[in-house]
């Protein structure tokens, strides 16, 4: 199964959300049309969708079931800091996106790949776990909480990667955000993912390294292809 990959560099959140939505809608239309061609959706039976890689300017996003009280400052204060805010249609609560964070948006047809939604989310987590392991970081999962964590069963669990997905007809959008060298101070304005008793971390914070973003992108795509058993075409 084939998947294309687009490296968007840095892009405004709303522009990227609109791009995701257009790709998502095209795959939905293709599925509804059956064997009939749909412009923009790709007619290759081995085509399972597109993965977008991006960094965003500072922005906070709140999932559809999130709680506004987990934003600890006013919208006006956010604007004064140069940050945007969006209430969006993914699962999960509130999180931050910004420079130094790799955001990965897979817009995929899970039926073509041959997996269900739970297995897909676990695959995203596994890809991140293997990626950070390349930097000497041991990560894992926390029962009942999505994402990838450092010291998940210890005294100081801290999240290095948040995951929030939307799915309809087994077509996905949104995805995960891996903190590479993110300024973690931005997370002090929220209860990240709704938690008040767990921290946030990054590859840089855990290791003292500043891995190049392109290097991390290449690792994520290589490992994600193996986990999903897909051929991901990329020019990274």
Q: What is the rounded end-to-end Cα distance, in angstroms, of the chain? A: 19
- Return d(Cα 6, Cα 124) in angstroms, integer: 17
Q: What angle do CA 57, 158, 88 make, to 5 degrees?
A: 40
- Return d(Cα 71, Cα 89) in angstroms, integer: 17
- Return d(Cα 193, Cα 146) in angstroms, integer: 9
**Is 193 labeled as catalytic in the residue annotation?**
yes
* Active-site position among 5, 16, 161, 193: 193
- Return d(Cα 100, Cα 119) in angstroms, integer: 28
DSSP letter for 185, please.
G
- Residues 108 and 48: beta-carbon distance below 8 Å: yes
Active site members: 193
């Amino acid at each position: 199964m084939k998947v294309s990959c687009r490296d968007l560099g840095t892009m405004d959140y709303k522009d990227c959300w609109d791009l995701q939505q257009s790709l998502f809608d095209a795959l939905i239309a293709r599925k509804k049309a059956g064997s009939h061609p749909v412009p923009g959706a790709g007619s290759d039976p081995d085509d399972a969708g597109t993965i977008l890689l991006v960094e965003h300017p500072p922005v906070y996003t709140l999932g559809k079931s999130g709680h506004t009280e987990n934003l600890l400052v006013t919208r006006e204060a956010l604007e004064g800091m140069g940050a945007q805010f969006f209430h969006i249609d993914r699962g999960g609560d509130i999180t931050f996106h910004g420079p130094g964070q790799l955001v990965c948006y897979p817009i995929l047809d899970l039926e073509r790949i041959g997996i269900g939604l739970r297995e897909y989310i676990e695959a995203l987590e596994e890809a991140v776990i293997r990626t950070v392991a390349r930097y000497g970081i041991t990560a894992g999962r926390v029962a009942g909480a999505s994402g990838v964590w450092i010291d998940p069963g210890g005294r100081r669990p801290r999240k290095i990667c948040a995951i929030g997905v939307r799915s309809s007809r087994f077509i996905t959008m949104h995805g995960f955000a891996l903190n590479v060298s993110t300024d973690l101070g931005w997370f002090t304005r929220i209860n990240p993912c709704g938690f008040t008793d767990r921290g946030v971390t990054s590859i840089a914070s855990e290791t003292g390294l500043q891995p190049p973003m392109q290097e991390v992108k290449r690792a994520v795509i290589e490992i994600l292809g193996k986990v999903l058993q897909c051929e991901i075409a990329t020019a990274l």
